[in-house]
Chain A
Amino acid sequence: MASPLALALCLGCWDSSEPASGPIKIPSQPIAGGEIVVACASDIPGLNEIATSSSQTSTELILRMFVKLLDELPDYQDHPPTFEPRLATSYEWSEDHRTLTFHLRRDAVWSDGVPITAEDVRWTWQVQTSDQTVWENASMKEHITDVEVVDDYTARYHFTHAYPGQLVQANEGAILPKHAWGRLPLEQWRTNLPWFTDNLVVSGPFTLDSWTPQEEIVLKRNERYFEPGIPYLDRVIFRITPDPTSQLTQLRTGVIDYIRQVPAEAARQIDASPKTRLLTYWPAQFNPIIWNTKNPLFSEPSTRRALALAIDRQTIVDTLWYGFAKPAKSPVISSVWAHHKEMAPLPYDPEGARKLLAENGWTDSDGDGILDRDGERFSFELLTNIGNRERNDAAVMIQDQLKKIGVQVSPRPVEWNALDDRMSSGNFGAIIMGLGLDTSLDMSSFFKTDPEGKELNFGYYSNARVDEIFSEISTVLDIEAARPLLFELQEILQREQPHTYLWESQRLVGARSTLQGATPSSVGTYDQMRYWWIFPQD
């Protein structure tokens, strides 16, 4: 009976030091050729982004095969992001800012040799907004009235009115091949996804080599891609590896070259090993506790503020993130130009929290260690989604911290769909959630008064001045000019705490040392894959 236990004990004598090898010499010039293996957590449904419900993986993978008119750059630290020409060489606005004209490259062709023209651009917009395809981002095109074909290489977007997000919304979605995919009647788009794979024609640097469901998706270089000599890699193998522990193991043993999420606790080791590298970036994601302001416990801003004061964010960050995160104070993360740097964060102040709660009538009148008011105990469920370790762990830590000021928290991990259900129906007290904020910085869906709960204002927060700010912002064409308004918004949010922001964390990407040129950023973890290259190791 001792033997398997002895085997297990070997874990104890595991030696983390790697066989000594000299520092790897990185060639100075990119080398063309070779292949890499990229881990992804689940298979993707299909290659047509309009006909599938997208996941981050499928969107990113599809963008290796289909290009957009413009590429957004991750240069949003000091000003709103700029756009780089891709399929379009340039664009210009009309006088009244209601029409936008794109000039297309003349050398771009689909992988079957057919030129990419303004007809494709127009047709793409048509299928994007069709009732039959039911594209999930169709609402982004709601202010576009028409896409006009001026000539083969000029397309003109017409808008209902001028507003800040025009360029982003016009550019949303890759351009699709009309001559190839237009052959399938629209009513079959949602039931015959494999058809698009069988009739694949691409515009991007890579095309599909093979696809074995639940196993791997192999991309190879598209010889007709318009940038000469690009991509460098011959093949990219996306290997479906659902278990994150297994992904990490195979990165270490050299089977996999790139994983998009290294657990924080293993990150230092990945960084220290000569065989692997750690690449980091700050994703545009904020991690709030959303307080349901319809719940009597959380209806007063000062109570929400008290709870925020009693949460020791620094300790949570130190414990859960091993130095790869920092405490947050705003939905606009600190690496974005519109972040309010001068605004001081709320301190960790349990004494102050107790005082605030006492002012609101919360005292421990029955001496059971839990605050009460009018016979009601300060006790609530803190929901998280099953499977997200950091959020579940944070809930456990917050439970411990709020206990110290007499507030009883029950952490409750809930299955994702059930959580979504409770969130959209307002059936909750507090939720720890991760929410994305794209570079348009449009926060109205999170905070604008929305009594019916149609948007993402899950906690039914409502503030007249906040609503005013949003209507003022929507008239400013250059979002950079709205900086004072965005600062004021952040100050109100800090004062009233509809959300309590916990941390902003780095995304930790693990890569083989011989893989060069990878620049994961909030634009995407596979961004610029066409410039990645790998050199053989001796």
Chain B
Amino acid sequence: MNTSLRWGLGILSLLVLMAILPPPIDPVEQVDPAASLHRPPGTLLHQLELEDGRALLVDRLVVRGRDVEILHRGQIRTLPRASITNLNPDGSTTQSRRFLLGSDRFGRDIWSRMMVGARVSLLIAILAMALASTLGTLIGVIAGTSGPRLDNLLMRGVDAAMAFPSLFLVLGLAAIFQPSTAQVILLLGCTGWMGTARLARGELLSLKDQDFVVASRSLGQRRSIIVLRHMLPNALNPLMVNATLMIGSVILAEASLSFFGLGVQAPTPSWGNMVSEGRTATHLVWWSAFFPGLAIAVTVVAFNLLAEGLRQSLDPRTQSTRSP
């Protein structure tokens, strides 16, 4: 196992851990948003449940006899102790909210949202990658193993798809369908397969005249068997590296979609929509866009390292260059 692979896998397992662990605070629910919005990282707020069913988030509370003095929305107020239902005998509350990485504009915990966002973003990335890879490989294999006529037709189709400005496609599709997670996956999958198709075709073309393929062809094996048993496995390595690289770019593309308001829609958090929502307030509350942006960058780095590592360990030729 080489360094790139080790690092890539290491970061990735941390990210997966982040995605599967339960978030400490409900990422969607809004409790007393006006009192908790845009709080800096590390803020601790105490949650008071009132008799009338409302909840308050206060910065400080001091019990003074039958009253409780609270600091709420920057003002000091007094409440009767009896009106609070979740006060311990010692004057502390049973609930509190610690915003590890700050809170967003509804007072929701950014760290918790990032944990759930990890699920969404990684899911989108992997599914979109799977869609694009399958589509691309299928077309590439058909083009690379069939006659020149079909090959030519398919490759012109790939050219056409590449020449079609995808921004237009994205804007148009978003108008036809309502933006949703499924649509984002579909959109990214359907606009990302062309590179894979070219790669797969190229690989298969180069395998076509290799000895073992020629041999099995002369043995009279069926073409589908040759392709599936002999050629595809030999082309798998570069395709795998390509797919890993693609995950990174899909995560970036999801963020760009959110920039145009067409990505995953609220209240579901994704790293992409967290960054683009937080961007407008960057100069006031840097944490709202910074941490999700960091998560995107780290994830893309991880997948790139993974791809690089895979390339090195799968390619017999690179092994020799490592020795001076």
Given contacts A400-B30, A411-B267, contact A393 B297 (CB under 8 A): no
Measured in the bound complex, the distance between the Cα atoms of B178 and A108 in whole Å is 54
Contact partners of A14 in chain B: CB under 8 A: 283, 286
Name which residue of chain A comes closest to B175, CB basis: A415
Within residues 375 to 420 of chain A, which ones have a CB less than 8 A from any CB in chain B? 386-387, 389, 392-393, 395-397, 399-400, 411-415, 417-418
Chain A: CB-nearest residue to B107: A319
CA distance A347 to B251 in the complex (A): 44
Q: For the complex, give the distance between the alpha carbons of A11 and B293 in Å.
A: 13
B276 to chain A, nearest CB (A): 10
Which residues of B lie under 8 Å from residue A5 when comparing CB positions?
294, 297
- The distance from the CB of A221 to the nearest CB of chain B, in whole angstroms, is 36
B148 in the interface (beta carbon within 8 A): no
Identify which of B59-67, B224-232, B258-266, B315-323 touches chain A: B258-266
Let me know if B53 and A350 touch, CB within 8 A: yes
B311 within 8 A of A: no
Contact (Cβ within 8 A) B34 A266:
no
Pair A393/B105 contact, Cβ less than 8 Å: yes
CA distance A16 to B286 in the complex (A): 12
Partner of B34, one of A4, A263, A319: A319
Q: How large is the interface on A (under 10, 10 to 19, 20 to 34, 35 or more residues)?
A: 35 or more
- What is the CA–CA distance of A295 and B292 in the complex, to the nearest angstrom? 40
Q: Contacts A5-B294, A400-B28 hold; do A413 and B261 have CB atoms under 8 A apart?
A: yes
From known contacts A315-B33, A415-B174, infer whether A11 and B280 are also in contact, taking CB-CB under 8 Å. Answer: no
Q: Which of A244, A319, A395 contacts B37 (CB 8 A)?
A: A319
Q: Are B175 and A12 in contact (CB under 8 A)?
A: no
In the assembled complex, B282 has its CB within 8 A of some CB on chain A: yes
Docked complex Cα distance between A48 and B266 (Å)? 41
| Docked complex Cα distance between A244 and B33 (Å) | 25
B258 to chain A, nearest CB (A): 11
Chain A hits for B28, CB < 8 A: 400
In the complex, chain B residues whose CB is within 8 Å of the CB of A399: 267
Which residues of chain B come closer than 8 Å to A418, judged between CB atoms? Answer: 175-176
Is the C-beta of B301 less than 8 angstroms from some C-beta in chain A? yes
Q: Is A265 on the interface with B (CB-CB < 8 A)? A: yes
- B29 interface contact, C-beta 8 A: yes
- Contact: B294 with A266, CB < 8 Å? no
A318 interface contact, C-beta 8 A: yes
Instruction: Mark contacts of B15-44 with chain A using CB atoms, 8 A cut-off: 1 yes-contact digit, 0 otherwise.
Output: 000000000000011101110011000000
Given contacts A319-B34, A412-B178, contact A266 B261 (CB under 8 A): no
Q: Is A28 close to B, CB under 8 A?
A: no
Contact A386 B33 (CB under 8 A): no
Given known pairs A319-B34, A397-B33, A400-B28, the reply for A11 and B284 (CB within 8 Å) is no
Question: For residues 273 through 318 of chain A, which have their beta carbon under 8 Å from a beta carbon of chain B?
Answer: 315, 318
* Residues of chain A from 247 to 268 with CB closer than 8 A to chain B in the complex: 249, 263, 265-266
Asked if A411 and B266 make an inter-chain contact with CB atoms under 8 angstroms apart, the answer reads: yes
* A184 → B minimal CB distance (Å): 34
Contacting pair A8 B294 (CB below 8 A): yes
Cβ–Cβ < 8 Å partners of B29 in chain A: 400
Q: Does A269 contact B (CB under 8 A)?
A: yes
Q: A266 contacts which of B32, B284, B287 (Cβ < 8 Å)?
A: B284
B contact residues around A12 at 8 Å (CB): 286-287, 290
Is B215 among interface residues, defined by CB-CB distance under 8 A? no
Q: By the criterion CB–CB under 8 Å, are A413 and B179 in contact?
A: yes
Check if A245 is an interface residue, CB within 8 A of chain B.
yes
Chain A residues with CB under 8 A of B105: 265, 319, 393
User: A386–B261 contact, CB under 8 A?
Assistant: yes
B:212-266 near A, CB below 8 Å: 261-262, 265-266
The answer to the question of A20 belonging to the interface, with a C-beta cut-off of 8 Å to chain B, is no
Nearest CB on B from A418, distance (A): 5
Instruction: Contact check, B30 vs A397: say whether CB atoms are below 8 A apart.
Output: yes
Q: Which residue of B lies closest to A399 (CB)?
A: B267
Q: Does B279 contact A (CB under 8 A)?
A: yes
| Shortest Cβ distance from B37 into A: residue | A319
In the complex, B169 has a CB within 8 A of chain A: no
Residues on A with beta carbons closer than 8 Å to the beta carbon of B294: 5, 8
Within 8 A of B (CB), among A6-25: 8-9, 11-12, 14, 16
Known: A350-B53, A411-B266. A393 touches B175 (CB 8 A): no
B-contact 0/1 string along A80-109, CB 8 Å cutoff = 000000000000000000000000000000
Q: CA–CA, A213 to B34, complex, Å? A: 43
Report whether A396 and B178 are in contact in the complex, using a CB–CB cutoff of 8 Å: no
Residue in chain A with minimal CB distance to B176 = A418
With contacts A400-B29, A400-B30 taken as known, whether A393 is within 8 angstroms of B283 at the C-beta atoms is: no
Smallest CB separation, B104 vs chain A (Å): 10
Q: Does B281 contact A (CB under 8 A)?
A: yes
Given contacts A11-B286, A319-B34, contact A393 B280 (CB under 8 A): no
Interface residue? A1 (CB, 8 A): yes
Bound complex: CA A411 to CA B175 (Å): 16
Within 8 A of B (CB), among A414-465: 414-415, 417-418
- B106 touching A393 by the CB < 8 A rule? yes
User: How far is it, in angstroms, between the C-alpha of A414 and the C-alpha of B177 when the chains are bound?
Assistant: 9
- B174 CB contacts on chain A under 8 angstroms: 386, 415
CB neighbours (8 Å) of A244 from chain B are 280
The answer to whether B280 touches A245, judged by C-beta atoms less than 8 angstroms apart, is yes
Contact present for B286 and A245 (CB under 8 Å):
no
Measured CA separation A299–B94 after assembly (Å): 43
Q: How far is the CA of A265 from the CA of B282 in the complex (A)?
A: 11
Contact A397 B106 (CB under 8 A): yes
A533 CB, min distance to chain B CBs, angstroms = 30
Q: How many angstroms from the CA of A522 to the CA of B267 in the assembled complex?
A: 33
Contacts of A415 in B (CB 8 A): 174-175
Residues of B within 8 A of A413 (CB): 179, 261, 265-266
CA distance A397 to B210 in the complex (A): 63
Q: How far is the CB of B100 from chain A (nearest CB, A)?
A: 15
CB-contact partner of B265 in A8, A245, A263, A411, under 8 A = A411
Q: Is B286 a contact of A386 with CB atoms below 8 Å?
A: no
B34 contacts A386, CB within 8 Å? no
**A263 vs B175: C-alpha distance in the bound complex, in angstroms?**
26
A4 contact set on B, CB distance < 8 A: 297
Residue of B at shortest CB range from A392?
A: B266
Contact B290 A319 (CB under 8 A): no
**1/0 contact trace for B100-130 toward A, CB 8 Å?**
0000011100000000000000000000000
Report the nearest A residue to B289, measured CB to CB. A11
Bound Cα distance from A57 to B265, whole angstroms: 29
A265 touches B267 (CB 8 A): no
Given the known inter-chain contacts A12-B286, A12-B290, A14-B283, please indicate yes or no for A319 contacting B267, CB distance below 8 A: no
**CB pair A396 B267 closer than 8 Å:** yes
Contacts of A266 in B (CB 8 A): 281, 283-284
Q: A266-B284, A395-B266 are in contact. List 11 more A-B contacts (CB 8 A).
A: A244-B280, A319-B33, A319-B105, A350-B53, A393-B105, A396-B266, A397-B106, A411-B265, A413-B179, A413-B266, A418-B176
Closest 4 CB pairs of A and B: A318-B34, A11-B286, A319-B33, A415-B175
The 5 sampled A-B contact pairs (Cβ below 8 Å) are A244-B280, A245-B282, A386-B262, A392-B266, A412-B178
